[in-house]
Each structure stands twice: as C-alpha cells, then as structure tokens.
Chain A
Amino acid sequence: MSVWVIADQRKGTLRKPALETLSEGRRLADQLGTSMEAVIAGHNVEGLCNEIASYGAEKVYLIDHEILANYNPPAYARAVGDLIKDKQPQIVLMGGTMTGRDLMPRIAARVGAGLAPDCIKLEIVDGKLKAIRPAIAGKVRVEIGYKSDIQMAILRPNVFERLEPDTSKTANIEKVPFEPSDLDTKQRLVEFVSKETGRPELTEAEIIVSGGRGMKAPENFALVEELADLLGAAVGASRAAVDAGWRPQSDQVGQTGKTVSPNLYIAVGISGAIQHLAGMSSSKFIVAINKDPDAPIFNVADFGVVGDLFKVVPLLTEEIKKIKAQEG
C-alpha cells in the first residue's frame, strides 16, 4: 500500500514537475507511514534512477524498452498500468506535464481507478487521498474524494514544493520486463519539432509580454522582446502600437486582434481600453506597468506597477536574469 510516482522524463532528462511530484509523494508516504516508490518508463533511462532516489523513492521500477524511447500513449499506459494492477499501490501521482495529462487518464482507465486532475493540494483524510483542484477556469475549487482502492492524481506544475535532493542515495532498482503489443506499434512519435529557440505563438503561449503606445518608438520594443525571451514568452502589442506601425498586425491582442488567455500577461505601456481588455482579460494573471495611475489596465491587473516602463522593465529583466543565473 505504497505511494507511487510516475517519473516523467523526456530525452533522458527528468522533467521538473516530476521532481515536485516525487517530493509530494514523499510527504504523503510519510504521512501514511508507508513507502514511496517510483516508476520510470523509457529507453536507456537507467541513469535517472539515482536522481529519482535522491528525492526519496525507496524503490524504482524501471521499464526500459526501445518502443518506450519516445512517448507512446498505448504502450506507456499498458506498461505502467499493468504494473500498477500487479503491485496495487494505494496512491499513484504524476506531474501535470503534457505527457502526464495525456497519459494518466489512460492508465486510470486501464487500472479502473479514480483520478483527479490539476491538483493544487493533496491531503490524507481517514487514510485516503483527498485532492483539491480548481475548475471552471479557476473560478471554483473542488474537493475530490475517492471510492477506488487505488487513488490517482495529476499535480499542477510549479505548485508543489520541491525537496532538496539527497544525492548520497542510490536507487533500489527493479527492472520490469516489457513485451510490445500490436497496439503499441500502431502509434509512433516520428518527429519532435523543437520550438525552444523561436518565440511561441501568441495564442499558444503560457506567458505574453505586450507593449503599447507607451513604448513610444519601435526600437523600444527591444525591451519587451528581451523580457519575453527571458521568460520564454510571446510578444504581443496593443492596437495603438500596431497602428503606429511599430509591430506587425499579427501581434495585435484585442477585440479585433487575437484573443489570448495565457497564464501570465504582462502589459507594458498599455492603458487598457476595453477593446484591448476583450482580448486578454481571461488571462490567469495580469501584470501591468504604466505611468498613468488611472489607466484602466490597473482595474484588471493582479499586480500593477505605476512607474516609468523605461526604468522598470530593464530592472525587471536584470532581476530575472539574476534568478535564472542562480538556478543555473
């Protein structure tokens, strides 16, 4: 009756949400007085097992096969799901990466277990898992209880605290045999198109940095671009900036431009007329930098900075650079 974490790796590297999930798994296991174990599926990923152990996994199930080299939903679900059915852990967790969100429902269906998505808090109540998650775009919080013996949950990234790894630990590895089935060969990841370098699309971006009339001149958009690149963000613009010819039409956010709903929207020198708000007010968080304290953008901003963007933005960029440098 242990706590399991499915460790998400890509190209031989553990994903950050996996580390957070391992940390949370450890905490729950301690609370239940049971062991925390991890599963990793992939090809030539044995080298990751020690890192997994360093986050407190007492045992690592290693499923290594060529066909698991890349993400393959049916194969991954069968490999991990059948192991769960066999070993019957009480709790199974995975980080909410695009793989986690895609894979866990399959596993839950295979195992026949309850699953909670996008959890921001996990508790043990009467020896059972209770999951807390937002729904309806964060407008409501839902507490989820389980009736199944196996309780599964997907953890929202960047929410759970990551433990300091204990690198002295080495993994107790149990290799699990895997035989591909017909179904596994019906799907194949043929290519990974990396977008690490270029900026993301406006409508797909998690973070957007937008500039408006307050930018004053096209060359000043370099400030916005630098900040955006640092955050892996897309660059947007208000209609005024597009009209002035400082940015292409395709960058325009607003009623007659693109409608976006990123996790974070940073509005730089944008006053926030309703035509602009209509295109971005559903963003989860909004930061506004504007020198006019009465600008309507502050009515929707979660964090507003009243000040000169030409001072604030370079300082902000510097600070973020420092943080990134610390993280290595």
Chain B
Amino acid sequence: MINPQEITRHVYWNIPLVFKILVYVGGLGTIALVAWILYQRVQIWKKGKGEDRQDKLKERLIFAARNVFLHTRILKDEYPGIMHLAIFWGFLVLFIGTILVAIEADVPFVHFYYGIFYLLVSLALDIAGLVLIIGVCMALYRRLKEKPDRLQPQKPEDNIVLYLLLAVAVTGFLTEAVRIAAQGFPRFELYSIVGFILAIPLNILGINGTLAHRIFWFIHMLCSFAFIAYIGYSKLLHILVTPANIVFRDPRPYGVVDTIPNMEEAESFGLTKIEEFSWKQLMDLDACMRCGRCQEACPAYNTEKPLSPKNLIQDLKDHMNERLVGGKSPEECTPYQRISDDVLWACTTCGACMEECPAYIEHLDKIIEMRRYLSLMEGRIPEELNQTFRNMENNYNPWGVGFANRADWAEGLEIPLLSEKGSTEYLLWVGCAGAYDDRYKKVLKALVEILKAANIDFAILGTEEKCCGDWARRLGNEYLFWMMAMENVEVLNGYGVKKIITACPHGYHTLKNEYPQFGGNYQVIHHTQLISQLLEEGRLTINRSLEGVFTYHDSCYLGRHNGIYEEPRKILQRLGLNLKEMEKSREKGFCCGAGGGRMWLEEKIGTRINYVRCDQALALDPQGVATACPFCLTMFDDGLKAKDKIEEIQLKDIAELVAEAIK
C-alpha cells in the first residue's frame, strides 16, 4: 500500500521561484485586465436608457443556468451545439481544476490534493482536456473546411481564440507528460491517462528532463495568460457577457414592444442616437457571437433581401463603438449610415432570429425602434405606406374601405351587436380582414357557424371595432397604433368586455400582449384554441370526416410569438386529415412574408418569401394547405396562383375545414 499522501503531485514541482512569481503577476494582471475591460463595457451600456430587467431574479437565474450549463438552446442545432458543449464543459472543468490547484498551492494549511481525490481530479481534467480539444477541432474543421455561409465574413479573432484554446490544452498535456516521464512513470499517474500515454513516445524521444518540463510549462503559462488577456479584446468576452444577457432577457412573448412614453410631449421618436437604446439593448450588441443562426433562419435573408439579423447587430455594435468608445458625436455618425432603410423595411418581424439566438438577443425591438425613427421622425416610408397609413387613420383599416361598412359582412348572419346586446360572454373580434376581405369573410362566416353550433354566447362590435393597429406598430408608426389602441380599449372597457375571440393572430397578439399597456386587460383566445377546446369538450361534433394529405403553415404571431403550435394540429388530425409537416415548421416555421407590415409593402428585392414558403409546402405534394391567419392565407393564395397550383390545392383556414366537418 502506498501512503495516500504520496499519491499526488507537487504543484510548482521543478518550477523556480522567479517563474512562480511570474505566474502570480501574470495571472492577477490578466484577470485585472479582463475586469477592467468588462467594467468599461458596463460603463458603455450604462449610457443607454434605464430599463427594469431585475424582476423575478430567481426565475431569471434558473433560466440562464439551464441555458448555460445544459445548452438547451444551443443544442437545437446539433453539430455546433455539440461542438460548443464540448468546448464549454472541457473549459469549465479545466477552469475548476485550475482553481483547485491554486487553492492547494496558495491557501495555507489547506491540503487536499492527494489520494483518491487527486486521482479522480486528474482523470477528470485529462478527459476535459481531451473533450476541449475535440470541440476546438470540430470548430476549426467548421471554420477552415466547411465554411458555412452563416459564419461569413470571418474575422482573424475567430481562429485565434481557437488556436489559443488548442495551445493551452496541448501544452498542458505536454507539460503533464514530461513531468510524468521525468518522475519515472509513477503507476498512479495512469489516472492522468492522456499525459501518461503521451509520455511514452516523449520518453523514447528523450524529452523527459526537467528542462523540457520547464519549457513546456512556460509555454503553457504563456498561452494561458494570452488567452485570459484576449478575453477582453475578442468574442471571448461572451464567456462573461452572454450568460448575463440571458439573465436579463425579456421574458415576454417575442415581438412585444413597448410604447413611447409621453408621446404628445416627446421631442424625438425612435432611435435617433445609440444612447436611446436601453442598457440591455446595448448589452445585446456585445453578447452577439456572430454565430449566424439568426441569419440562417431569417426569411428576408433567405430570399436575398439586404437584411441579416447578424449583420444588423454587428453594424449596431460597430456604431456603438465608434460613438461611445471612439467618441464621435451623434451628428458625425448615425446608425443609419451603416444600416440602410431597405434593411429595416425587409423585416417581417417573424421572430425566427430571436427563436434561434443562443444569446437571447432581442432583434425585433431594435428594428421597430429604428422603423419608428424612419416613420415618425423622418416620414421616410416606402411610398406605398403613405396610403395604408392614411387609410388606417381615416377609415380604421389598411385597405381604406369605408368604416361605416365594417359590419356589412355580417348582414343576414344574425350576429348580435354588442351595442344592442349590452353584455356577452365572448366578444368576437372580427379584424380588418374578416370585415373587408371577401376571401376572409368566408372564414368569419365559417367561424360564426361553429360558434353557433357550439352555443357560444358571443357578439361583435360592428362599426365600433377599429383596426387593432398591429401593422402601424410593426411599421414604426407608434402614433397611429397608439390612437387605434386607445380608441379600441375605450370601447372594449366601456362594454366591460372580458373574453375575446380573435380570428387573426395579429389581433390576438396585439390585444393579448400589448393592449395591457393601454389599460386593456382581456382574456384573448385565438379561434383555433377555442375550436380545439370545443372539440375536446365534445361541444362540437364531427359529422363527416375529411380526407387527404394536408400541411399546416404556422403563423409566426400564433406560433413563435405565442407558442400556439398544438391546437391547430390537433384540430386537423381530429378532422381525419393526414397531417404532414413542412421542412420548416413549429418553432422553425418559415414566415409567409406578410408580417411586420410587409403585407402593405411591395417586395421589390429578391425572391418573394411567399413563393419560397409555397415551394416548401408543395414539396410534400399535399392535397391541401391549412392556415390560421388571414394574411398567411393571402400570401399562400398569391403564391399558389403564381405557381399555377391554386386549382389543385385546397387552401383553407382551419375554421372553414371545421365548419365543413360539422355540417
């Protein structure tokens, strides 16, 4: 039996005092440097506006911890997910090991690094080093060989950090190996398995002396300090910033934007200068690693629009640096010199970028802030919007059909008006499309049939309903949105409305998530949710089963923004349809191209988004496409017509299919 006390290694074995001192100087120096740089970044973020992101801190910390340690979101993309997981855990274990060693060496009267503990730590550290090297090699393979589009353009630092990590790990192993060889291969060092094996060829080559050990040790230390020092000057800063960014993320549904406080007295609107972003919005810019997942998911980028969410964040970061670090004045340089109007108008606010982003960066509110600047401050809007905005102002719908005609669709359908009925369990929020678009009027009629069949107590506002304002808000015309929202809330609260059924995901999102900003608090339910519930409860009976292969297109405002993925699918399956999923569905659903006000803009650049989406649906060779949003329906209708498939493929809202099945 060997004395457990002898199963150990002496920290700083074979290291002269001078070198030892250098370790403390270098270690403390580089750590101080990183702290200093981080401090400076914090000072820069603090130049942004105040914003409360400290509520529910416990939930925030748990959520962030799950993301950091379990890589819940990063792993959604397999190869880079595993790659990052390897580097992260390898690095983390080595980091912990280093701390243990430091405690052993430097804390007086503390002595634990021996025996079983030593063996297990040695084993763990060797495995961690190996995992780290595997992760780094995966990353290098990707950057040097695969070169995926989303990583372009690459910067020198991208590879430097990898080489540094690799050098730290490799020199660590070499140092260990030479030490084992120089100590004459103690058997227990088999637990330092990588070092032990590596020591054999080194021993044969004669690299087994104390000098060699010192040289490797020195290089290892040099690399380590270089690595630490480099944290502050490279994307490695994300080690510190990104976890914090996740802690302070906005937990609300994507795409919820805040209003402009005190609009009638405000002097400027939208982002006129970078300091008008909140501290968290500035922090977002430093949290971006240029991984490009957002870009890969972005419907605008994928159809040759000038928008890449990654580049947008990077451009804003560069701008932040030239302003707040470089000291240029807001007059000298504006964000709009780097970010063109076309970039900003290209966004469909589909939220795919936010769904993908492992750092939980909030792209949408930044784009809306900048659109606000274009719309409200400059009046620099695409010419076709001029009419749409006026239509909403004068007739409370984007098409500009007379507001007095808003209830015409309901003629002869015997739908009670709330003004006549006084009170109701459910208010049916018809929406502009339901009221004015001939195609979507059919969906509303189907929905009314369903509600009547299930004996739902409901009423409509008729001409008292106005556009919910979604388009105005997404297009940056907060003033117009504000007017719409105030007027609608006043009417709804006047009637004491509690529960609202919407037949449009945009109305759903806006009423549910954004009207509370104006004192409108309602229980809002989308028609697919209600129908699903009614079927479940047996309040609707399916009298004839439908047949055929159908695919369901997720509306972004229903799916990604509000997490409603299951209800529409359940309904379709209950109807007897053979549901097939498109290549991009649910969280990864590809936008139809209408969101974010794009419905009202001409798509002049690149391929039409709706054409691409139609192709994805057509790839399944379905008999039908089901939607749950009037604008998705329009986009598919246009797309399928352009592809000459409209006659072959049934394009239906879910409500229409249900109405057919309960007849």
Contact = CB atoms under 8 A, between A and B. Distances in A.
A255 interface: yes
Interface string A265-284: 00000001111011001000
Contacts of A259: 387
Contacts of B602: 249, 252, 256-257
A299 B405 CA distance: 14
Interface in A202-244: 213, 239-240, 243-244
Given A243-B642, A274-B399, A278-B399, A255 B439 contact: no
Contacts of A239: 638
Given A273-B439, A275-B634, A244 B600 contact: no
A296 interface: yes
A256 B641 CA distance: 18
Contacts of B637: 273
Nearest to A259: B387
B436 interface: yes
A246 to B, nearest CB: 12
Given A257-B602, A274-B436, A296-B439, 18 more contacts: A243-B642, A249-B604, A255-B399, A256-B600, A256-B601, A256-B602, A259-B387, A272-B438, A273-B634, A273-B637, A274-B437, A274-B438, A274-B439, A275-B399, A275-B634, A278-B391, A281-B401, A296-B438
B388 interface: yes
Contacts of B400: 278
A154 B437 CA distance: 39
A244 B387 contact: no
B265 interface: no
Interface in B431-447: 436-439
Contacts of B604: 249
Interface residues of A, number: 20
A240 B437 contact: no
A296 B400 CA distance: 17
A240 B634 CA distance: 12
Contacts, number: 49
Interface in B383-411: 384, 387-388, 391, 398-401
Contacts of B642: 213, 240, 243-244
A243 B641 CA distance: 11
B290 interface: no
Contacts of B280: none
Contacts of A256: 384, 600-602
Interface centre among B384, B388, B436 (most CB of A within 10 A): B384
Contacts of B608: 243
A240 B438 contact: no
Interface in B593-634: 600-602, 604, 608, 634
A252 B400 CA distance: 18
Given A273-B439, A274-B399, A274-B437, A255 B638 contact: no
Contacts of B387: 255, 259
Contacts of B398: 255
B600 A255 contact: yes
B391 to A, nearest CB: 8
Nearest to B400: A278
B436 A240 contact: no
B503 to A, nearest CB: 16
Nearest to A295: B438
Contacts of A273: 437-439, 634, 637-638
A299 B439 CA distance: 12
Interface string B411-447: 0000000000000000000000000111100000000
Interface in B227-262: none
B218 to A, nearest CB: 67
B438 A299 contact: yes
A275 B598 CA distance: 13
Nearest to A282: B400
A256 B637 CA distance: 17
From B437, B604, B634, B637, name the one whose CB has the most chain A CB atoms within 10 angstroms: B437
26 contacts: A213-B641, A239-B638, A240-B638, A240-B641, A240-B642, A243-B638, A249-B602, A249-B604, A255-B387, A255-B388, A255-B600, A256-B384, A256-B600, A256-B601, A272-B438, A273-B437, A273-B634, A274-B399, A274-B437, A275-B399, A278-B391, A278-B400, A278-B401, A281-B401, A296-B438, A296-B439
Contacts of A272: 438
Contacts of A296: 438-439
Interface in B567-616: 600-602, 604, 608
Contacts of A274: 399, 436-439
Can you list the 4 inter-chain pairs with the closest CB atoms, starting with the nearest?
A296-B438, A278-B399, A256-B602, A274-B437
Contacts of B641: 213, 240
A281 B401 CA distance: 9
Contacts of A249: 602, 604
Interface in A6-46: none
Nearest to A275: B634
A259 B399 CA distance: 11
A238 to B, nearest CB: 10
Given A243-B642, A296-B438, A255 B384 contact: yes
Contacts of A243: 608, 638, 642
Contacts of A252: 602
Contacts of B437: 273-274
Interface in B628-655: 634, 637-638, 641-642
A272 B608 CA distance: 20
A249 B641 CA distance: 18
B649 to A, nearest CB: 16
A244 B644 CA distance: 11
